[in-house]
Structure 1
Amino acid sequence: MNQIFKTFLFLLLLSTCSIAAFSQNGSKIYGIIKDNVNEPLTGATVALRNNADSFVAGTAADIDGNFIINDVPDGSYKMTISYLGYEDYKKTIDIAGSELNLGILKLDPSKGTTLDEVKIVEKAPPVQQKEDTTQFNAGSYKVNPDATAEDLIRKMPGMDLSTGKPQAQGESVTKVLVDGKPFFGDDPSSSLKNLPAEVIDKIQVYDEKSDQSQFTGFDDGNTSKTINIITKPNRKQGVFGKLYAGGGTDGTKDASDNYDAKYNAGGNINYFEGDRRISLIGQSNNINIQNFSSQDLVGISGTSGGRGGGSRGGGPGGGGASSSFTTNQSSGINKTNAVGFNYSDKWGKKVDVTASYFFNNSDNTTTQTTERDFVLPSDAGKIYNDTTLSNAVNNNHRFNMRFNYTIDSFNSLLIVPSLSFQNNNSTSLLNGSTMLNHTDLLNSTINRYSSDKSGNNLSTMLLYRHKFRKQGRTLSLMANGGYNKNDGNSSLFAPVVSEDGIDTTDQQAVSKQHGWNINSNVNYTEPLSKKSFLQVQYGLNYQQSSSDKRTNDFSYITNDYTDLNTALSNKFTTNYITNKGGLTYRYNDTNFNFNIGVDFQNANLDNQRELPQNNAIQRSFNTVLPNARFQYNFSKKKTLRLFYRSSTSAPSVSQLQDVVDNSNPLQISTGNPNLVQTYNNSLFMRYNATNTKNNSTFFAMLSAQNTRDYIANSTIIVNDSTNLNGVVVPAGGQYTRPENMNGYWNFRGFATYGVPINALKSNINGNATLGYVRTPGMVNLQKNYANNTSMGLGLVLSSNISDKIDFTLSTNANYNIIRNTLNTNSNTQYYNQSSRLSLNYIFWKGIAFNTELNHQLYRGLSAAYNQNYLLWNMSLGKKLFKKQQGEIKFSVYDLLKQNNSIATTVTESYIQYTQTNVLQRYFMLTFTYNLRFFKGGASMKDTENNERNGGEQRMFGPPPGAPPGGGPGGPSPGMMPPMD
């Protein structure tokens, strides 16, 4: 912390010195534009003309009404400020210095006659394409009055929430902003579930660049798929949210002959007042509702009994031991208690700050059955099966903050700290066996495993940015540092039965993992002409990770765990340092722009093992890393973007540390200190097109990735009990360690097309996906390539009738073809179709009916895992009170009691099918109260009327008490993402 404080002071000193050190040419004009009730006029246009009435310069106001015009020559000018529905503001100004602060400039509403009896309205287009941003008009998509942002975006083209996590244009959404500012940190699920749809004006989808790239204009490839929610002008000041509480039962009785109770309580309260946004959310339930992200659940993967093998890869619901515990997953039974707080404000004119805090307590119980079929011809007929019962209790505290200080118009400082603390207690009982031809038992184990882990993670990013007087000349300095710790204790009792008899493992282990890193980067940009620029960059990155694991066997002499097992104990430290420097050239024309650059990187990977033997491995790598980016604008509505990037990544300490993990003695794994860094090549293509005549949108994406020295798995499956590196692997058991291999490929294509069907008052959206993954591996020292080809089609039909009736019908069909080069007999293909119908209907005297049907179909899996089931949820409620803020609702979940969960995992050595327990039928009675109070004359009735208008924009005069959205030629309300 002391070092971070010193760095902070250094950057402040540097920013102060730079103001005086750099020469400045031209002048700057700036100010704030507001209306007569002191609300900022986002998008108001500012134009400067000389005495000859020729246009000199112009700009548009940002979300806070601020505007800046740089590099204005000294002289006298006529300034005009325009905004739809307001009188033009005209002023003559004289410039004879470095800057001119005009302060707050207020516009008066138009004095023209408002047509009361004849209204001329213009329907806002549902979708617009603005450079690399796709913008949806929320009023074009009808939802019920109490709908959330999540309900709204389900209807929009290219949006997908079928997995429980938001996806946009074929990619996972990693960030949700509200009016350009973070909302609940980087947790998209919390943001979408807790923001009511009625406050939303527009939804923007784009690839947000890193803070440094946004400033320099040079895309470094570090982007995140982002949704920016723009709130309505008359919803920026008020209190809104909802509170709910419900109770019920699943109809079963416990050991005391009492009915098993189900409960769900919580809510959210939002206070918006201009720049100040305060939000509080909370929940407590035992029905698998969990709004928060998987960051809250570190360490849970250990509850599976430590199943080795390093499985990867696809299939319906597949991938990773912790997939059952992330947001909105149905696997297992979860009890959740959570609370979150979000704060956003502008401190004075120069400081923007956002902060969020989360606490999450999760208690998960999972029962899981697994079948694993091996691909090697010599292992044909071998099948591994297990059943695991596990429980995990996880507690997590997370804090995030973003502090942006605009020192002046040329200098700014961004500070982004984050901090988390968490602990996890888990137990598991695994009953596993390996069979030959389903009849001959090769081995078996009953594995009892428990662990107690705790960890913390601290990181801080500092970014100093300086603009020179010469347009396009910039300097930015970035420093990012972090520290993480994960300590734990575990115990294992596992008798193994094999042809050699019974071998019992009884041990306790203590592990300590620590790591820290610091990354720094310097970027300087220089304009070569009005259209071309050069960037010089240099980066120094250092990462250190250490892991110390001590395993003690039970001693019958001391009657305690005192015998150090050197084969299962290891102390290991890895250091990875890179120096990277290079040049990037950028050209920007009216219809196209491109970047092309190259970096040279020197990397050193040093591994030091102290236990059980002391030895060191040092490696150095010199790498050329080219990059390129191209964007062509066929028109304002059609854009093509290409991006190529090369990069390297170091193996993790868990992959490097050669300590044996025997938490499942039938599936043993270890690390490999001889691993080298991987070299990645990635190519992306994106095409966007919108048609305002028929309000259609089209998006296509292609991606390809190749990895050299890919970290693959080398698996040995033994026929007889074998001693490998001091550990006995029973007959039929498996021993896995990572190896560098070439030949990894990943191709993916995605396309979506959406258009309204006016005859049905609905929107239809179709999508298609195509994927191919080639994963190398070794099985008994023979190379194998697992090839997985996937094809998918999807269709979404969503209503746009009224706010009283809302339905969405969707289906996604996927076909997977799996081919292995070692054993063609293990080749297979399977089909999965997921369909959903959701209907909300509000009819006579506020009675609300809701039904949701989710159908899952699996074909081509092993006989026990082919499924065809329907999850049917239903509710009937009554709106209460004069303004229908309240609702009492009776609901039933899984009416037919058919809910299920299946996952297929494909690796280079096996194909695995997994089935997990899920929440099934229960009944619940719930009371909900919606808070709605907005200042500026926006009552609940105004809200209902506005929703019925369907996003129509009045051409004559703004709504009472609030400015209209968007000025001529300016952006819509809200902060537009920085453009190239």
Structure 2
Amino acid sequence: MKHVRIAFVLLIAFCVLPCTVSRLIAQNLSSYNVTATVVDENGIPVIGANAQLIQGKTKQGAATDAKGHFRIQRVKAGTYKLELSFIGYLTSVQDLKVEGKNKTINLGKITLKENVRQLEGVTVKAAAADMKVKGDTLEFSAANFGMQEGDVLEDLIKKIPGATVSESGKITINGKEISKIMIDGQEFFSGDPKMAGKHLPTNMIDKLQVLDRLSDMARMSGFDDGEEETVINIQVKKDMRQGIFGNAYGGLGRGIKNDNNRYETNAIVNQFKGKSQYTIVGGGNNTNNLGFSDLGVDMSQGRFAGVGGRGRGSRGSDVAGAIPNTNPRAGVTKSWIVGANAATNLNDIWDMNGNGRYGYSDQYVETTNAIINFLPNGEMTRQDNLSYDQVYSHNAGTDMRFVWTPDKLTEIIYSPSLRFGKKNRTFSETFENINLKDESMINKGDYGMYETSKNWTTDHRIDFSRHLNTDGRTLSLSAKFDYNSNDADMIYHRNINEDSYLSKQESDFSRLGTRLWASWVEPLGGRFFMQALVNTRYRRQTNNRKNYSEVAKNEWIENDEGGKYTNDFYSFNMGANVKYLLKNMDVTLGFTVDPAMLKSKRYIGDSADYEHQDTTIHSVNFAPTFAFRYRPNKQTSLRIQYRGRSQQPNIDQLMPLPDKTNPLLEVLGNPNLKPSFSHDVFARYQTYFEKYRSSLQAMVFGNITKDAIVSDALYDINTGKRTIKYRNASGNAFIHANASFTMPLFGHNLSMRLASGGAYMRIPGYINGEKNISNTVNMSNRLSFVYQNDWLYTSITETYDLDHFQNSTSDSETANIRHYRTDHEITFNLPWGISIGSTLSWKTTNGYKPGFGNKAWNWDMFASYSFLKNKAATLRFKVYDILNSGISNNNTSTPLTVTHQRTNTVVRYGILHFIFRFNSFSKGAGRGDMREVGNRRWFRGH
């Protein structure tokens, strides 16, 4: 605690002295703040617009945030020109006189007019660039990616340079996971980007923007708190921003087997009016097209008993649970969903955004695995298993967000959420372990379980900010409360080498967390601002596990393998930051001190006679903070950031109660684990070359972790059983770099899109008592050439990935896995509303052990016909996986294992869709009579 007292004294000195000096300096200064909201002609906020006050050669500027707000601080009295600019809009210039008693000059709403060059009102002369950079925002034109009737947002994202959509539906762009989808600056089904990805039709999308959004508290205080999120903002086509519109479709089909009948149905209705948005969506299918991200997948994915789940932890610290988590894209899934989303201005001082949703899923997965295990002494074993997994789940949830701005200086945000899930799961697996040295049998057997679980979670957060003077003095406060409960009951059987028994487990898991955060921002005179902050956190995790052995049929007796375990985490983070503002850049320097305490308690015996074993761990971490932003013009930005943060172990890693549900894997926590501390670095450069309509973005981020939580594994080659424990170890490191570039070739119809990235991971661990350093290098390169005109869209994409694995315990087992893929897409948009198209892919994987390679063709084709007035109706027939190529194969490799996996999936089938588009626009639907193909508009039927 001596270090904590010293740090606290330094913090007080660091805060009080500058505040005193600032008052002396401020007495001789007279400055103003200039603020406004920038919107387009429909009242939609313009995100990332550049605002500059110009006086001779002097310029002061700021960029608009997700609500279109900007604030230019420390402006001296005088006469200026206010210039507002944004790519795609006409630059606005107006004279502004800064004077008067009111030190905050609020200009209200300023409208930017769209800069559209049209030929005879129909044809746009210049093609929009594939990718544009607007300060910190990447923007993609949807019309350049060959979207068809029935396509959804996820189909568009898959074509964006640097973007990937995983099998589970997780969206990643340039290595950063997308946490939210927004529509014209308003959140859409908050916290569930997969929902938007699978249901928003692309025919409503004009632009897709990718940006890093500061947390509410960072935006309020003006200082980055390290909790920003990467979001996608959808700009709706201008003629759809006033009125009601939507899509509805239904489809029936049949696969190569009589029992493989397929169906899909979906409807989405939108009403847009100014800043207000209302959406209702619903549908169902048996084609693995889950809608909500937590449909039977994320709500209670824990270990065998469905308890706890995985915490944040350090990279590489988690191990596989006793039973694998369910892959949402594997097997065959039937699902139904319904949901509603609303964003509106209740009045001049209240904004509301919220959603509610319900979903049901029924998933059946058959999995065949072949797993090669490498041991430090050079020995290898192979485990072959076959599993069957059936999951039924019901999930419901709601998220709300209320913003209250009673005056220009005060803002209060309240964000509550509630989620509930119920699941029934049946899992069974047969296995066989072989010693590859002499092909001898180690063991064989089977295990399985029947589980019922309920999970509910609630979060509540309130943020408050008040500007106390016109020079930038600001008080910001935040409070958060969250609670999670998961109850699981399970009956499981184990049979290994003809030794079998039946057991039962009851598990009650709960997690409660609170956070209080306070920030004081003080102007220091000139362009300097200082922030003092305090952040306290508390988290309690409890797991009460009871295990029973069967003594007779349907008669159980509790054994001593269970128990109750609690863990309390306390943290009191203090820090101070100083920011220096210039016209085109800002620099922030500071430090944090983070004392923390972990207190764990294990209860033994009945509730009336509990004994307990206490474990208390103290830690103190010091770290500087650094942030640098540079925007020399509206099309270029550079950002560099460093931050240190602590990460506490989760209860699975702490609880010293063995999980023996799987006869081949036992997991035992370590109550003596320390919190880990990571040093995180991030840098990004983006620019747009307007003359050549080309864009470049490059990014690098990584971390080094002290006291990383790593696995300590013991593998018994005589029994085939693996025991996993945890310990702290240093040397954990991760770095990721990527870049993407787009440019037109030989005119406007042909373009090139390049995305390249790589990552390095260094993960320490232990196996059979020997320290193992896992070194992994991943490289990915994707090059696309796209050609499009009024009637043709075609592209060819080459993808090459390299995975290099090596561990220190067995240098001879270095693996170099190469993945190569070629995709060719072609679509003909013919007269009379007819479109035909094809997608052909070739995938090959090399570098695995003999017999573990993978080569496959995949071919899809479609034909569609649009008819009725304004071509509102479409009939589309599509055949998936024409060659029945076995796309269910999957290979994965780590330094200690190679796994070849095959699952059942939705195989070759054809489906006939009827798609209907409807609209009722307040300004008329004349523009709806036209269809965007590439970058030009032409009348359908011509």
Q: Please tell me whether residue 565 in structure 1 is matched to residue 559 in structure 2.
A: yes
Q: 8 Å contact 1:711–1:740 — kept in the other structure?
A: yes
Paired residues for 1:299-310 under 5 Å:
301=301
Q: 3-state SS of the aligned residue for 2:659? A: coil
Which residue of structure 1 lines up, in the alignment, with residue 8 of structure 2? none
Residues 140/105 of structure 1: CA separation in 2 closer, same or farther (3 Å cut): closer
- 1:713: Cα distance to partner? 1.3
**Which residue, out of 879, 883, 886, partners 2:866?**
879
Rounded to whole Å, the distance in 2 between the matches of 1:390 and 1:946 is 44
Q: 8 Å contact 1:853–1:873 — kept in the other structure?
A: yes
Rounded to whole Å, the distance in 2 between the matches of 1:93 and 1:789 is 56
Residues 64/279 of structure 1: CA separation in 2 closer, same or farther (3 Å cut): same
Which residue of structure 2 lines up, in the alignment, with residue 507 of structure 1? 503
1:857-905 deviations in Å (ceiling 9; x for gaps): 1112233431101122222222121321111222222111113234444
- 1:819: Cα distance to partner? 1.2
Query: Which amino acid counterpart does residue 902 of structure 2 have in structure 1?
Result: Q
Rounded to whole Å, the distance in 2 between the matches of 1:92 and 1:40 is 27
Q: Please tell me whether residue 843 in structure 1 is matched to residue 843 in structure 2.
A: no
Q: 3-state SS of the aligned residue for 2:672? A: coil
**Which residue, out of 231, 234, 240, partners 1:235?**
240
- 1:107: Cα distance to partner? 12
- 1:606: Cα distance to partner? 0.1
Q: Please tell me whether residue 216 in structure 1 is matched to residue 221 in structure 2.
A: yes
Q: 3-state SS of the aligned residue for 1:944? A: strand
Which residue of structure 1 lines up, in the alignment, with residue 292 of structure 2? 292
Paired residues for 1:816-835 under 5 Å:
816-835=803-822
TM-score scaled to structure 2, two decimals?
Answer: 0.86
Rounded to whole Å, the distance in 2 between the matches of 1:703 and 1:100 is 39
Query: Which amino acid counterpart does residue 800 of structure 1 have in structure 2?
Result: Q
Rounded to whole Å, the distance in 1 between the matches of 2:344 and 2:642 is 38
Rounded to whole Å, the distance in 2 between the matches of 1:468 and 1:57 is 23
**Which residue, out of 608, 613, 616, partners 1:615?**
613
Which residue of structure 2 lines up, in the alignment, with residue 967 of structure 1? none
- 1:40: Cα distance to partner? 7.2
Identity of aligned residues (%): 24
Rounded to whole Å, the distance in 2 between the matches of 1:884 and 1:540 is 59
- 1:143: Cα distance to partner? 3.9
- 1:100: Cα distance to partner? 8.8
Q: 8 Å contact 2:322–2:662 — kept in the other structure?
A: no
Q: Please tell me whether residue 810 in structure 1 is matched to residue 771 in structure 2.
A: no
Rounded to whole Å, the distance in 2 between the matches of 1:79 and 1:775 is 52
Q: 3-state SS of the aligned residue for 1:205? A: strand
Residues 187/603 of structure 1: CA separation in 2 closer, same or farther (3 Å cut): same
Q: 8 Å contact 2:302–2:308 — kept in the other structure?
A: no
Q: Please tell me whether residue 553 in structure 1 is matched to residue 549 in structure 2.
A: yes
Which residue of structure 2 lines up, in the alignment, with residue 673 of structure 1? 671
Which residue of structure 1 lines up, in the alignment, with residue 723 of structure 2? 735
Q: 3-state SS of the aligned residue for 1:573? A: strand
Q: 3-state SS of the aligned residue for 1:865? A: coil
Q: 8 Å contact 1:302–1:426 — kept in the other structure?
A: no
Rounded to whole Å, the distance in 1 between the matches of 2:633 and 2:72 is 27
Rounded to whole Å, the distance in 1 between the matches of 2:189 and 2:800 is 33
Once the two structures are overlaid, the 10-residue window that deviates more, 473-482 or 301-310, is 301-310
Q: Please tell me whether residue 129 in structure 1 is matched to residue 133 in structure 2.
A: yes
**Which residue, out of 663, 685, 688, partners 1:687?**
685
Which residue of structure 2 lines up, in the alignment, with residue 867 of structure 1? 854
Query: Which amino acid counterpart does residue 705 of structure 1 have in structure 2?
Result: N
- 1:284: Cα distance to partner? 0.8
Which residue of structure 2 lines up, in the alignment, with residue 334 of structure 1? 333
**Which residue, out of 766, 776, 792, partners 1:788?**
776
Residues 141/496 of structure 1: CA separation in 2 closer, same or farther (3 Å cut): closer
Query: Which amino acid counterpart does residue 937 of structure 1 have in structure 2?
Result: G
Once the two structures are overlaid, the 10-residue window that deviates more, 182-191 or 343-352, is 182-191
Rounded to whole Å, the distance in 1 between the matches of 2:872 and 2:400 is 34
- 1:345: Cα distance to partner? 0.4
- 1:374: Cα distance to partner? 2.3
Rounded to whole Å, the distance in 1 between the matches of 2:68 and 2:759 is 45
Paired residues for 1:265-664 under 5 Å:
265-294=265-294, 297-298=297-298, 301=301, 325=326, 330-378=329-377, 380-437=379-436, 439-497=439-497, 502-556=498-552, 559-567=553-561, 569-611=562-604, 614-633=612-631, 635-664=633-662
Q: 3-state SS of the aligned residue for 1:215? A: helix
Q: 8 Å contact 2:36–2:108 — kept in the other structure?
A: yes
- 1:695: Cα distance to partner? 1.1
Residues 193/756 of structure 1: CA separation in 2 closer, same or farther (3 Å cut): farther
Q: 3-state SS of the aligned residue for 2:652? A: helix
- 1:653: Cα distance to partner? 0.8
Residues 505/467 of structure 1: CA separation in 2 closer, same or farther (3 Å cut): same
Rounded to whole Å, the distance in 2 between the matches of 1:915 and 1:287 is 18
- 1:298: Cα distance to partner? 3.2
**Which residue, out of 703, 711, 714, partners 2:712?**
714
Residues 208/718 of structure 1: CA separation in 2 closer, same or farther (3 Å cut): same
Residues 306/536 of structure 1: CA separation in 2 closer, same or farther (3 Å cut): closer
- 1:560: Cα distance to partner? 3.6
Residues 355/708 of structure 1: CA separation in 2 closer, same or farther (3 Å cut): same
Query: Which amino acid counterpart does residue 688 of structure 2 have in structure 1?
Result: T
Query: Which amino acid counterpart does residue 564 of structure 1 have in structure 2?
Result: E
- 1:246: Cα distance to partner? 1.2
Once the two structures are overlaid, the 10-residue window that deviates more, 744-753 or 841-850, is 841-850
Query: Which amino acid counterpart does residue 560 of structure 2 have in structure 1?
Result: T
Once the two structures are overlaid, the 10-residue window that deviates more, 844-853 or 645-654, is 844-853
Query: Which amino acid counterpart does residue 779 of structure 1 have in structure 2?
Result: I
Q: Please tell me whether residue 202 in structure 1 is matched to residue 200 in structure 2.
A: no
Rounded to whole Å, the distance in 2 between the matches of 1:338 and 1:185 is 16
Query: Which amino acid counterpart does residue 237 of structure 1 have in structure 2?
Result: Q
Q: Could you list the runs of 5+ residues in structure 1 that have no partner in the other structure?
A: 1-22, 254-258, 721-730, 952-980
Rounded to whole Å, the distance in 2 between the matches of 1:248 and 1:737 is 49
Which residue of structure 2 lines up, in the alignment, with residue 971 of structure 1? none
Q: 3-state SS of the aligned residue for 2:871? A: coil
- 1:757: Cα distance to partner? 2.0
Residues 95/631 of structure 1: CA separation in 2 closer, same or farther (3 Å cut): closer
Which residue of structure 1 lines up, in the alignment, with residue 15 of structure 2? none
Residues 931/809 of structure 1: CA separation in 2 closer, same or farther (3 Å cut): farther
Please, what is the CA RMSD of the aligned residues? 4.2
Q: 3-state SS of the aligned residue for 1:862? A: coil
Q: 8 Å contact 1:330–1:919 — kept in the other structure?
A: no
Residues 320/248 of structure 1: CA separation in 2 closer, same or farther (3 Å cut): farther
- For this pair of structures, how many residues does the alignment match? 897
Q: 3-state SS of the aligned residue for 1:566? A: coil
Residues 604/933 of structure 1: CA separation in 2 closer, same or farther (3 Å cut): same
Q: 3-state SS of the aligned residue for 2:407? A: coil
TM-score scaled to structure 1, two decimals?
Answer: 0.82
Q: 3-state SS of the aligned residue for 1:927? A: strand
Rounded to whole Å, the distance in 2 between the matches of 1:47 and 1:590 is 8
Query: Which amino acid counterpart does residue 369 of structure 1 have in structure 2?
Result: T
Once the two structures are overlaid, the 10-residue window that deviates more, 778-787 or 68-77, is 68-77
Q: 8 Å contact 1:143–1:806 — kept in the other structure?
A: no
Rounded to whole Å, the distance in 2 between the matches of 1:469 and 1:226 is 32
- 1:678: Cα distance to partner? 0.8
Query: Which amino acid counterpart does residue 185 of structure 1 have in structure 2?
Result: S
**Which residue, out of 162, 175, 180, partners 1:158?**
162
Residues 171/120 of structure 1: CA separation in 2 closer, same or farther (3 Å cut): closer
Rounded to whole Å, the distance in 1 between the matches of 2:112 and 2:430 is 74
Once the two structures are overlaid, the 10-residue window that deviates more, 118-127 or 936-945, is 118-127
Residues 330/947 of structure 1: CA separation in 2 closer, same or farther (3 Å cut): same
- 1:544: Cα distance to partner? 0.3
**Which residue, out of 150, 159, 182, partners 2:187?**
182
Which residue of structure 2 lines up, in the alignment, with residue 3 of structure 1? none
Q: 3-state SS of the aligned residue for 2:219? A: helix
Q: 8 Å contact 2:103–2:470 — kept in the other structure?
A: no
1:540-586 deviations in Å (ceiling 9; x for gaps): 10000000110000013xx444322212x121000000001111121
- 1:26: Cα distance to partner? 8.1
Query: Which amino acid counterpart does residue 546 of structure 1 have in structure 2?
Result: T
Residues 825/771 of structure 1: CA separation in 2 closer, same or farther (3 Å cut): same
- 1:77: Cα distance to partner? 11
Rounded to whole Å, the distance in 2 between the matches of 1:716 and 1:226 is 42
Rounded to whole Å, the distance in 2 between the matches of 1:91 and 1:793 is 50
